[in-house]
Structure 1
Amino acid sequence: MARVGICIGLALLAAPLGPLQALAQAYQCRMPRQLAPPKPVTRDGPARPRPIAGYTLAASWSPDWCKTHGNPKAMQCDTRFGRFGFILHGLWPEAARGLSPQWCAATQLPRPQMLHKHLCMTPSPSLLVREWAKHGSCMTKDPAKYYRVSAILWRSVHWPDADRLSRKEDLTAGDFRNAFLARNRDWPRKAIGIHLSRRGWLREVRLCYGADFRPLACDTRRLGTRDDTAMKIWRGL
């Protein structure tokens, strides 16, 4: 099984992204033609290289983030650049136990052209740079490969209609998982992590993978909210 996982992982790293950009659940996406060179990222913790046992694909619900944390002039929240639903927060390597790998040796910053290619998936140049430096550097020495794998996984996910779900009375986390499974039939239910605010608003969905990049049941930390928990989805559109 380990050899199979390694082969699949190498195939993802080597695979071309193809002619289409990976998109967020974007109602519209109009990105600037040019970006300024990225700035170095300041670490928020120690370097922690560790063996990788799996991955998390973290998707933020953009309307809620823009309502609670976002600068209205930030690319993600500024309607001049588009209107977004789910966006890719990042692809995170996970250890078998304990703390996750982070802040491994990142020897190069992504080029602006590289970042631009993925802005409709993650509409924040600074977030793209940070995710590479903090998480991607523990997976590969090449930021292009990190973004390529992230985009391949992102494009493989079919998101449920969150706008429709937001109008459902007595919505629960189980309803969201049911809607996700209806569009992603091969996914294990326990591989769908849902994270809510203290007031029950959808913040993030965390999809769990094994070392072979196949969906795998989340641990308790990543699984988050139970099926019977009431939840709300801020539309913001």
Structure 2
Amino acid sequence: MKRLNVPIIFAAMLFSSHSLADTFTATQECPYAQRIKQLSNSNLSTLDVGTTYQTLTYNNAAKDFVRIRIDGVGDKWTKTDCGTVKENDTVKTRGDGAKPPKSKKYSRSDNKHVAGQFDYYKLALSYSPEFCLVKGKNQPQCSREWIVHGLWPQYNKGYPGNCDVPPNMVDSINKKEIFAFMPSDYLISHEWKKHGTCSGLSRSEYYDFTGQLWDSLSLPDLSSGKFSQDEIRQAVIDKNPRLEANMIELACDEGSGPKNTLDEIRICFSKEGIAEACTEMERSCGKNVKVRAL
């Protein structure tokens, strides 16, 4: 397992110029313009969903708008929450003093499961000892304590699933690289169909982004016993000081094992890959949670 520190960004750095490695992948058909105040005009050209652009700069520390380079058009401004930002090949946590990105609030009631139309992500991390005690110790993930279950687009209430995507979005992927965090052919196929199709990213971009979030975290080695939810969350925070308790969801009783056993930890991220508070939490764990070992 990779044991990397969560990257730290200082607010003063958030609106500086960036290197050629910085990219912005459009997840919505938002307008772009030469000046920010022109973005409210009608009949503007829009971003191509799934297209990756070079990022140049942001308008302020809150990163409300990003300036991107569009081939054949030039350098333009667009809203940052209209896509996914990848900076220097790492996924960033929010800097001190920066405000959360502004986002349309979607829900199942007003949305028809359209790719790219969601509010934030949950990165679901499966605790392998519990999974393997229930499913059998010959499962591919049983040699590791944690794997990625999936990266799930979320509405502020509910979530989309099985979104329609054009054939060109189902591009080739490098399974050898994906197996480093998701060692299951079935899971790779299932998670793309149910969740990845709603991300607004191509299949390869979706798994690249999932891998970046995985690499940005350092996960705790848990001992067996009973622990409070606060104790488990604090074990995660101790490894990742930039996280806060309201960014971490615990999931219990996902399988057929004993009641109130830890199955997963889920961490919430903005579309840009910045850790943020979850707006909706699963309540499947009791006050004290069992952690089992193989």
Distance 2:261 2:179 in 1: 25
Contact kept, 8 Å, 1:200 with 1:232, in 2: the verdict is yes
Offset at residue 110 of structure 1 (A): 5.8
Alignment map for 1:96-115 (pairs within 5 Å) = 96-97=156-157, 99-106=158-165, 107=167, 111=172, 114-115=174-175
- Structure 2 gaps, min length 5: 1-62, 67-78, 91-111
Partner of 1:67: 133
Structure 2 SS opposite 1:59: strand
Contact kept, 8 Å, 1:109 with 1:129, in 2: the verdict is no
Distance 1:110 1:73 in 2: 31
2:292 alignment partner, one of 214, 228, 234: 234
2:271 alignment partner, one of 211, 215, 228: 211
Distance 1:102 1:2 in 2: 27
Alignment map for 1:35-54 (pairs within 5 Å) = 48-49=113-114, 51-54=117-120
Please, what TM-score do these two structures have when normalized by structure 1? Answer: 0.70
Cα-to-partner distance string for 1:80-133 (whole Å, 9 max, x where unaligned): xxx111110010111133x3121112436564x612221121111110111111
Distance 1:16 1:217 in 2: 23
Structure 1 SS opposite 2:230: helix
2:261 alignment partner, one of 172, 196, 201: 201
Note if 1:10 corresponds to 2:10.
Answer: no
RMSD: 2.7
Going from structure 1 to structure 2, the CA distance change for 1:225 and 1:201 (only over 3 Å counts) comes to closer
Offset at residue 199 of structure 1 (A): 1.7
Contact kept, 8 Å, 1:58 with 1:207, in 2: the verdict is yes
Could you tell me which amino acid in structure 1 is paired with residue 119 of structure 2?
A: A
Going from structure 1 to structure 2, the CA distance change for 1:74 and 1:179 (only over 3 Å counts) comes to closer
Distance 1:3 1:135 in 2: 27
Offset at residue 16 of structure 1 (A): 5.2
When you count strand as a share of all residues, which structure comes out higher? Answer: 2
Please, what TM-score do these two structures have when normalized by structure 2? Answer: 0.58
Offset at residue 211 of structure 1 (A): 3.3
When you count helix as a share of all residues, which structure comes out higher? Answer: 1
2:198 alignment partner, one of 121, 134, 138: 138
Could you tell me which amino acid in structure 1 is paired with residue 84 of structure 2?
A: L
Contact kept, 8 Å, 1:162 with 1:233, in 2: the verdict is yes
Could you tell me which amino acid in structure 2 is paired with residue 102 of structure 1?
A: G
The list of structure 1 runs, each at least 4 consecutive aligned residues, that deviate by more than 6 angstroms after superposition, is none
Alignment map for 1:70-109 (pairs within 5 Å) = 70=135, 72-77=137-142, 83-97=143-157, 99-106=158-165, 107=167
Aligned pair count reads 192
Higher normalized contact order (CA 8 Å, seq sep 6+, divided by chain length): 1
Going from structure 1 to structure 2, the CA distance change for 1:8 and 1:157 (only over 3 Å counts) comes to farther
Aligned-residue sequence identity (percent) comes to: 24
- Structure 1 gaps, min length 5: 18-46, 78-82
Offset at residue 213 of structure 1 (A): 2.4
Could you tell me which amino acid in structure 2 is paired with residue 10 of structure 1?
A: T
Going from structure 1 to structure 2, the CA distance change for 1:210 and 1:192 (only over 3 Å counts) comes to same
Could you tell me which amino acid in structure 1 is paired with residue 85 of structure 2?
A: A
Note if 1:174 corresponds to 2:230.
Answer: yes
Distance 1:183 1:153 in 2: 15
Offset at residue 184 of structure 1 (A): 0.9
Going from structure 1 to structure 2, the CA distance change for 1:231 and 1:90 (only over 3 Å counts) comes to same
Going from structure 1 to structure 2, the CA distance change for 1:230 and 1:141 (only over 3 Å counts) comes to closer
Distance 1:6 1:126 in 2: 33
Could you tell me which amino acid in structure 1 is paired with residue 80 of structure 2?
A: I
